[in-house]
Amino acid sequence: MITKKNTQDQDNIIRQYKYPVLFYLLVTLIPWAFWFTAGYVSWLTPHQEKYLQIASILALAGLLAPLAVVYFLTARNKDLRKDISARFFNFKDIKPVYLLMTCLIMPVSIMIAQAISLLFGYSPEQFIITGNFTFTSGILPVWFLLILAPIIEELAWHSYGTDCLRNKFNLFNTSLIFAIIWGIWHIPLSSIRDYYQSNLINDGMIYGINFLVSIIPFVLLMNWLYYKTGRNIIVAIIFHITAGFFNELFAPHPDSKIIQTILLSIAAIIVVINEKELFFERKIK
């Protein structure tokens, strides 16, 4: 159970996450430099396989950059280091229902979306676990990246990135601002040959737009679970992993992902309405 004292202690530590502008400038511009370079290299010929390997190394460097920024901003602050470390292990007082929703929201939403798509004539083969993936990831196995990328990202987004915004804004605005920045952050990945975002654009611009729109309800739901579980970083990691892993485990038609975005949006609206105090307090007390 999260007590009033827990909330006050949480607010006190969040006040120390002071540099949102610096954080988001660095975690956007540095990965962009790596990823646009990777995009250019990935299309070079001849010896394309070699260039794709170089591109994947550059892409991984860009992925790791936000984590390096967090280290830079927290290395000299023992309170922040202690806070971040503690938030990996604070499961004791978390209500099991939030852990259950962390694990189930994304896989259940894509399965319901696929089921709805059947009503419009789409194939039931979407439910087959094919073992195939919709993108490549260079030198790293795709299944490994589906797990590694969320871990690395959330070690930055929910160790420093979310709380530095929450220090300035209410949770609703924090989530919207982060969702917009996160969407912008992903844009250069669409330039890298055969990467997920690149393939989305090739399938149709509407699917790229859906990816960007889907980030908004996804972030609202993830941040709701994050704060309802005492800012638990592992909760954010698990929620993020389930989003990518189950969308690749099955074979959803791209239109089913649009249906999933609608379902997640409905869920996010319900959560925000029911948790108005959590989302619309001006900022931390």
Catalytic annotation, residues: 153, 186
Q: How far apart are CA 196 and CA 129, in angstroms?
A: 18
Integer angstrom CA distances of residue 94 from 13, 74, 80, 87, 210: 19, 26, 22, 12, 33
For residue 59, give both structure tokens: 């892409």
User: Where are the strands (E) in the chain, listed by range?
Assistant: none
Of 62, 103, 114, 77, the closest CA to residue 251 belongs to: 114
How many helices (H) and strands (E) the chain has is answered by: 13, 0
Q: How far apart are CA 222 and CA 150, in angstroms?
A: 12
Q: How far apart are CA 59 and CA 196, in angstroms?
A: 12
Q: What share of the chain is helix, strand, coil (3-state, %, to 5)?
A: 75, 0, 25
| CB-CB contact of 189 with 28 (8 Å) | no
DSSP 98-137: HHHHHHHHHHHHHHHHHHHHHTTT--GGGGS--S--SS--
Integer angstrom CA distances of residue 281 from 56, 101, 170, 173, 246: 42, 24, 5, 10, 34
